[in-house]
Amino acid sequence: MSYTTISFYRYFSVEEPRQLKEQMQKLCREHELTGRILIAKEGINAAVSGRKEEVVKFKKNLCALNFFNGFFSGLTFREQDALERAHHKLTVKVRKEIVHFGKEVDLKKRGKFLKAEELQRWYEDKEKKKGNSQFDFVLVDARNDYEWKVGKFKDAVTLPIKNFREFPEQAKQLEKYKDKKIILYCTGGIRCEKASAYLNEQGFSMVYHIEGGIINYLNHVSAASRSHSYWEGGLFVFDDRLVSETGKPITKCVHCEKAAEKYQNCFNLNCDKLFVGCTDCLQEMKNTCSQACKEAPRQRKIKKKIEQKEILGRVENYFAQKKVALVKVEKKLERGKIINFFGKTTPEFAQQIIELRNEGGEEISCASAGELVTFLVEGKVRKGDKVTF
């Protein structure tokens, strides 16, 4: 089964936030979505996840709502596919702000949107024409320090902030760039949009913000040109994943100093510090940040998965034109069975085996461990993908 995580926001006047809260709770429950939604009189800020097909229906129904003067019409979404849900429960809250800034800002003074493709071109032009002020710009990270430490845009200016409400004070460091093109960015666009309005109010002359944020940039830099991406490291996300792996790590494990980008809350309940650790050290140190924390008496318990999937085989090859998979069987595989495919870059999906053939192309009813078989698949698979019940 494949899942999708989407994030979306919109600044607009909400006269009855609690009425919108009830509407969003109802819509999410209808489509079995989990996540976190914040609603305020200034708008909505949401990140939800669920089964791929249900997320598609949710987006369609949300945009079709004749609610609040059609403000959801034309709403855009930032999307990431995954093998499991990114959120374990649904939370919908009414707040004073959808993103806490602590200062009144006139959002009509927001900066200009800069599309992902435009940012890519600006970077390329800047590198080709160094020294030409016409192509000069300054990229500013509007996120918290623990976010940009695991990933940021090349040559971006970062600010030492622990939360977004510290941005106005730390933005004083940007005074020296007041006459340059300033491009603000954040994860999905909501923070940099508000920050752009603030900078314009402070007299900055050319302020832009990336439309859709980092997620939109990464989604629009095609796989073919990913090697030319100007994004460095991983992407911090506010869900159960903590870090979405998007590139070569720029951070190191606190224990062995090898390149790593996995954030982990220390399992010592009296510490709970957020730190970066590699897979081997996290296992050796029992998910703690130090020897003292490893030996501490109050430890967080690991939630065991209820169901362990039985591996039936592994994909050896995929013939795209015929949509046929060649699978090496590890346990008895029968025609008519419903199976699952999943892999490191293949979102999980289920299907029934309608027709099963052996290595010689003869139709068979079942196959035993060690045999090579072929059958039609409903989605694209890759070598090494697992086949399970």
Helix H segments across the chain?
A: 17-30, 52-63, 116-128, 145-148, 167-170, 190-201, 213-220, 279-284, 291-294
CA atoms within 13 A on the CB side of 185: 31
Q: Rounded to whole angstroms, how far apart are CA atoms 76 and 115?
A: 13
Q: Rounded to whole angstroms, how far apart are CA atoms 337 and 368?
A: 14
Q: Which residue has the tokens 């040109």?
A: 225
227: Cα separation from own chain's centroid = 19
Helix (H, G, I), strand (E, B) or coil at 166: helix
- State both tokens at 273: 């510090």
CA distances from 130 to 117, 122, 149 (A): 20, 12, 27
The verdict on whether 281 is a catalytic residue reads no
CB 188, CB 7: distance < 8 Å: yes
Helix (H, G, I), strand (E, B) or coil at 340: strand
What is the DSSP pairing of strand 112-114 with strand 206-210? parallel
CB 189, CB 210: distance < 8 Å: yes
Q: Please, what is the end-to-end C-alpha distance for the chain in angstroms?
A: 11
What are the DSSP calls for 289-318, one per residue? SSHHHHT-S-BPPPPPPS-PPPEEEEEEEE
Single out the catalytic residue among 28, 63, 186, 253. Answer: 186
Catalytic residue numbers read 186
